[in-house]
Amino acid sequence: MNSSSRSNRQSQIAPSPTEMPAAAPLPNPAAPNNTLPPAQGAGQPAIQNQTQSSVTGGPPNSGTAVPPNAPPAKPPSHVTYQISHQTEYNYSEPVAVCQNQLRMQPVTGGNLECQDTKVTIDPDPNSWDEHRDYFGNLVTTFSIESIHTALRVVVKSRVTVAAPSISESDASTQWEEALDHGQGPLCPTVAEHRYHSPRILPSETFAAYARPSFTPGRRILEGALDLTRRIHQDFAYDVTATTVDTTTEEAFQLKAGVCQDFAHVEIACLRSIGLAARYVSGYLRTTPPPGKERLIGADESHAWVELYAGEKLGWLGLDPTNACMVSTDHIPICIGRDYGDVSPMRGVVLGGGTNTLKVSVDVEPQPIR
């Protein structure tokens, strides 16, 4: 089979108006992305949806988590990473046609600088297009219209992540002040993250859980970290408890799940008291146990939260899986209202029978030059 690859360097592609999310609150969660449609007629090949979940997130990272009473460690000013994300589908029967979208490539912005990113696809696509979606994420769309029994996608990127300008000990404004900023006419991209989204429906249940952290007049950074640590303490990390389609309400009732669930729960809590919060997908640098070498390909994708903390602080990264603020160990790739906006790979195939999915992620820190 032939392979195809392209690279992108800080591409400046305008957002596609067709991908703008609905402005009004959505009343019901979106339908799951990876369920099969009704059975096809006899003798007809099945059209299947395939969605890769990138958010098992790995167990809490002992090298990143900060106990509530421990002094925060000072992160390095910046870290450069070489990232490799390999996805391979193998099908029990031939696939005649597949169409897919990728959201795996970082873009320069915030505390991240992307030096290079490259996508390789095997077999060679018949069509290939790149554009920015409504949230500014880089999207690769491709189709393969030849018979194939396997699909392999490799995304390699080189990025530098700078430490955030704010630390846990810094002063911040009262959390109520951020409510006004989100409503101002100059902040429509902030205000839209205060409302319902397909997978996150704010409610009094989530508001009641959030209120002990956001007492009247409390500093927003203190309240946000308190909520982040409470979720980390109250929820069990359990890869068997939920699936990619578990609702936020179900995860909250279970008090268990993975990073996708914890991020959804924290966003629901923040939005339920009127604050703007958005979903971030990316990678987390993992730390091997003492005396062990780092395993190539054993890293995993991760998910966390960004809270709008007012004009001065802007968006504040919070990781409920690891009870910490986001720093140089976190590598952001895409942002959205919830996981549905940032799924790393989604698509449909004609035929294919059953499939097996293999994902390998490697996040390698580079030497300081």
The tens digit of pLDDT for each residue in 298-351 reads 688 999 999 999 888 899 999 999 999 999 999 999 999 999 999 999 999 999
Q: pTM score, two decimals?
A: 0.82
Given a contact cutoff of 8 angstroms between Cβ atoms, the answer to whether 279 and 305 are in contact is yes
Task: Flag whether 153 is in a domain.
Answer: no
Domain annotation covers residue 312: yes
- Are the C-beta atoms of 251 and 338 separated by less than 8 Å? no
Residues 6+ apart with CB under 8 A from 360: 84, 85, 86, 297
Other CB atoms closer than 10 Å to residue 41's CB: what's the count?
A: 5
pLDDT of residue 71: 42
Domain containing residue 278: 165-341
Q: What is the pLDDT of residue 57?
A: 54
pLDDT, residue 3, reads 52
Report if residue 267 sits inside a domain.
yes
Query: Does residue 208 lie within any of the structural domains?
Result: yes
Q: Which residue has the tokens 């003798």?
A: 43
In-domain check, residue 301: yes
The CATH code of the domain that includes 219 is: 3.10.620.30
Q: Is the dihedral of CA 286, 290, 294, 295 positive or negative?
A: negative
Q: Answer for the pair 279, 339: CB distance below 8 angstroms, yes or no.
A: yes
| Res 16: pLDDT | 40
Read off the amino acid at residue 52.
Answer: Q
pLDDT (0 to 100) of residue 23: 37
Residue 180 exposure: Cα atoms within 13 Å on the Cβ side: 6
Burial class (CB in 10 A: 0-12, 13-18, 19+), 292: exposed
In a domain, 275, yes or no: yes
Whether residue 309 is contained in a domain is answered as yes
8-state DSSP, 339 = G
The per-residue pLDDT for range 178-203, each reduced to its tens digit, is 886 545 544 788 989 999 999 999 99
Find the DSSP H helices in 216-330.
Answer: 220-234, 248-254, 259-272
Residues of the chain where predicted confidence (pLDDT) is lower than 70: 1-47, 51-75, 180-186, 294-298, 369
Specify the number of domains making up the chain. Answer: 1
What's the one-letter identity of residue 237? Answer: Y
Structure confidence at residue 355 (pLDDT):
95
Residue 185, domain member (yes or no): yes
